[in-house]
């Protein structure tokens, strides 16, 4: 199938605001692609070349993109730079430059979906000596044979600035339109569950294209396919939680790294909440789990523990490194507190009620490094409040209350879990995980650091809408870290998928997540989050809590969640 079909659909989607229309147009596209093409098309929609746990990241710098455009179009560097500045969109600049060249070219080899995907995959996996030249060659080859519209889409994909407004839920609905035999709602549920248990929507689409809905019905967890994590809802008090759940069980909420640990009885792999393989960072954990010789998938929180006390999150994440792990393992001893069981001995535990999962977890997991997270039965608000106070006094973030009868709801935020954190006594009921889209130079005492603050946004579909300028909460070490890190991520223009009325000193590719605390959420004429009638929502007195290297932009707070927090804030004041 020709790639022009994908490019034309993507450009059409950019002009479509209705979710129903978007779903229908995607369904039309999916009806025309074969098995492997269906997988590749889904990856294009998601902005990836493979799921995170494959360890393949396109990661092409803006400068390399520009060089590929120059090579394909025969233009000079100044032409690319000027057009990019004028349009604010590297994809549009590529379209204009390739349009000029196409008028002078008589014949081209038409691009197929597979050819585009194969070149992009080779670009992502190219490494070592000469890899930069190989990447430029692979990309320029595509652009040389691309139509102007195709060049625009390919460049945006490589630059990470696609703006289609198509989240996973919309893609799943579109697939259900194509492959449902009866009720679309039932098909959507089956496809969503298969995705949530495998974290690979492309492979799900390929199975559907080859064998229909029956290929994904009855999906089960399997070792080494990370399950998309269940997420907790928020409430402001123990009384509200008990009113919602009735008698429940509460886990302590540890301030560490959430891990999902898989074993087939021999091999062990450990995944972060971003679904990246982090086994090499926790050799002590992997050795202990391997010694059990069990087929198991469970979740736990990795927390630094030394001299009888929990270490801070920032100390714990020092384990996230590729070199010197043995030394760092000694400096930062880890405990993993297991809190959920998803799979055991070939049996799917995600559909079992929490109480049953918990009992099986307690019988199956335990050792020197891996321990069971403490959980307490809470029949009243007083019980829950007492346990909450105990957890906070030990240095924990708070508690997670769990519905005793609820299954494990993979990939969704539901009231099966409800978190209560120590910050909830304030007007704003939770911290916000925001995505950095720009930064500011330092002034006054911060001049020497070359960094003074962040422009942060939340996700709305595939767009990022600003919610705060953050200038407080930084240590001197963090000021230096941000300067060095963001210097590598900066781009010449505001990314096409960033919606901002605020100017930054430097714009960056949205990739870094930070946790932000604020006094409250207020109306703002300058921030674009939930903007309506020239007023958006913004964080008042925002300050940095920590850098969330364990989270990807896809797992950051959404615009919808900010609106919900704002509504809860209004109800409590």
pLDDT digits (tens, 9 = 90+) for 212-266: 999 999 999 999 999 999 999 988 899 999 999 999 999 999 989 999 999 999 9
Residue 472 forms beta bridges with which residues? Answer: 543
- In the sheet that holds 398-402, the strands lie side by side as 231-234, 413-421, 398-402, 248-253, 375-378
Asked if 245 and 403 touch (Cβ cutoff 8 Å), the reply is: yes
The pLDDT of 103-128, averaged and rounded, is 85
What is the maximal distance between C-alpha atoms in the chain? 79
Residue 544 forms beta bridges with which residues? Answer: 516
In this predicted structure, the answer to whether residue 325 has a pLDDT above a threshold of 80 is: no
Mean pLDDT rounded to a whole number for the chain: 90
Question: Computed over its alpha carbons, how large is the radius of gyration of the chain?
Answer: 24
pLDDT digits (tens, 9 = 90+) for 172-210: 999 999 988 555 668 999 999 999 999 999 999 999 999
CA 573 to chain centre: 32
CA distance 139 to 130: 15
Report the DSSP pairing between strands 295-306 and 257-264. antiparallel
Which domains does the chain possess? 48-159 (1.10.3260.10), 231-425 (3.30.470.30), 432-572 (2.40.50.140)
> What does the DSSP 8-state code read for residue 103?
T
What is the model's pTM? Answer: 0.84
Q: What is the pLDDT of residue 476?
A: 86
Most confident of 16-20, 87-91, 116-120, 177-181: 116-120
The pLDDT of 73-102, averaged and rounded, is 88
pLDDT digits (tens, 9 = 90+) for 393-426: 888 889 999 999 999 999 999 999 999 987 654 5
Q: What is the pLDDT of residue 327?
A: 66
317 or 57: which carries more pLDDT confidence?
A: 57
Asked if 504 and 455 touch (Cβ cutoff 8 Å), the reply is: yes
The pLDDT of 264-292, averaged and rounded, is 95
Find all residues with CB under 8 Å of 316, minimum gap 6, and list them.
256, 257, 302, 303, 304, 332, 334
For residue 138, what are its two tokens?
Answer: 């692979």
Q: What is the pLDDT of residue 106?
A: 46
Numbers of helices and strands, H then E, in the chain: 20, 22
Find all residues with CB under 8 Å of 435, minimum gap 6, and list them.
456, 457, 458, 459, 464, 510, 511, 512, 513, 553, 556
Report the DSSP pairing between strands 295-306 and 309-310. antiparallel
- Report the length, in residues, of the chain: 573
Query: How distant, in Å, are the alpha carbons of 254, 383, 392, 401, 543 from that of 376?
Result: 15, 9, 15, 9, 33
Residue 252, φ and ψ in degrees, nearest 5: -70, 140
Residue 348 forms beta bridges with which residues? Answer: 343
461 or 46: which carries more pLDDT confidence?
A: 46
Burial 533-564 (b: 16+ CB within 10 A, else e): eeebbbbeebebbbbbbbbbbbbbbbbebbeb
Question: Is-catalytic flag, 422?
Answer: no
For residue 509, what are its two tokens?
Answer: 């590719």
Query: How distant, in Å, are the alpha carbons of 280, 347, 359, 512 from that of 258?
Result: 16, 23, 21, 18
In this predicted structure, the answer to whether residue 318 has a pLDDT above a threshold of 90 is: no
pLDDT digits (tens, 9 = 90+) for 349-373: 999 999 999 999 999 998 999 999 9
Q: What is the pLDDT of residue 425?
A: 47
CA distance 257 to 313: 8
Report the DSSP pairing between strands 463-470 and 498-499. parallel
Cα dihedral sign for 231, 235, 239, 244? negative
Please choose, from the candidates 271, 269, 243, the residue with its C-alpha nearest in 3D space to the C-alpha of residue 257.
271
pLDDT digits (tens, 9 = 90+) for 478-537: 988 999 999 888 888 898 889 999 999 999 999 999 999 998 899 999 999 999 988 999
Residue 358, φ and ψ in degrees, nearest 5: -65, -45
CA distance 553 to 545: 17
H or E element in which residue 521 lies: strand 520-524
Asked if 318 and 332 touch (Cβ cutoff 8 Å), the reply is: yes
Assign 8 a pLDDT band (cuts: 50, 70, 90).
very high
Catalytic residue among 249, 253, 385, 419: 253
CA distance 284 to 304: 13
């Amino acid at each position: 199938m020709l790639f022009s079909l994908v490019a034309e659909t993507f450009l059409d989607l950019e002009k479509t605001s209705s979710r129903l229309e978007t779903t229908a147009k995607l369904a039309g596209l999916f009806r025309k692609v074969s098995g492997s093409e269906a997988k590749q098309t889904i990856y294009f929609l998601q902005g990836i070349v493979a799921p995170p746990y494959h360890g393949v990241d396109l990661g092409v710098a803006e400068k390399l993109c520009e060089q590929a455009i120059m090579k394909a179009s025969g233009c000079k560097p100044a032409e690319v730079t000027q057009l990019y500045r004028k349009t604010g969109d590297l994809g549009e600049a590529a379209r204009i430059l390739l349009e000029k060249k196409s008028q002078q070219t008589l014949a081209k080899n038409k691009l197929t979906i597979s050819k585009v995907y194969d070149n992009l995959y080779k670009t992502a996996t190219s490494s070592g000596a000469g890899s930069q030249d190989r990447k430029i060659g692979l990309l320029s080859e595509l652009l040389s044979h691309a139509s102007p519209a195709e060049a625009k889409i390919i460049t945006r994909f490589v630059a990470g600035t696609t703006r289609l407004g198509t989240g996973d839920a919309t893609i799943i609905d579109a697939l259900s339109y194509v492959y449902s035999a009866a009720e679309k709602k039932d098909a959507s549920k089956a496809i969503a569950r298969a995705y949530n248990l495998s974290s690979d929507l492309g492979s799900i689409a390929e199975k559907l294209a080859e064998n229909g809905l029956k290929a994904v019905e009855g999906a089960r967890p399997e070792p080494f396919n990370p399950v998309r994590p269940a997420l907790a809802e928020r409430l402001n008090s123990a009384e509200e939680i008990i009113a919602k759940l009735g008698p429940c069980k509460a886990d302590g909420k540890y301030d560490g790294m959430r891990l999902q640990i898989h074993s087939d009885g021999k091999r062990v792999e450990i995944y972060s909440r971003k679904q990246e393989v982090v086994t090499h960072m926790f050799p002590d954990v992997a050795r202990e789990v391997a010694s059990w010789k069990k087929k198991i998938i469970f979740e736990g929180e990795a927390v630094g523990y030394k001299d009888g006390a929990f270490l801070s999150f920032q100390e714990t994440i020092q384990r996230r490194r590729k070199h010197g792990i043995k030394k760092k393992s000694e400096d930062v001893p880890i405990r993993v507190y297991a809190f959920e069981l998803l799979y055991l001995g070939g049996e799917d535990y995600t559909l079992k009620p929490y109480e049953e999962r918990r009992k099986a977890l307690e019988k199956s997991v335990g050792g020197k490094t891996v321990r069971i997270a403490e959980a307490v039965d809470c029949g009243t608000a007083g019980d829950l409040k007492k346990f909450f106070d105990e957890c906070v006094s030990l240095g924990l973030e708070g508690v997670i209350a769990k519905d005793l009868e609820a299954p494990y709801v993979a990939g969704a935020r539901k009231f099966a879990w409800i978190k209560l954190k120590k910050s909830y006594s304030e007007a704003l009921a939770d911290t916000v995980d925001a995505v950095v889209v720009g930064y500011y130079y330092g002034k006054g005492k911060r001049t020497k650091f070359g960094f003074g603050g962040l422009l942060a946004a939340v996700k709305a579909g595939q767009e990022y809408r600003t919610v705060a300028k953050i200038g407080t909460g930084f240590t001197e070490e963090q000021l230096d870290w941000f300067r060095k890190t963001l210097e590598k991520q900066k781009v010449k223009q505001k990314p096409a998928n960033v919606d901002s009325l605020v100017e930054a000193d430097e714009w960056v590719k949205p990739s870094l997540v930070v946790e932000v605390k604020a006094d409250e959420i207020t109306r703002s004429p300058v921030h674009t989050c939930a903007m309506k009638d020239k007023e958006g929502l913004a964080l008042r007195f925002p300050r940095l809590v920590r850098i969330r290297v364990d989270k990807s932009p896809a797992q950051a707070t959404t615009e919808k969640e900010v609106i919900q927090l704002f509504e809860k804030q209004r109800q409590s004041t």
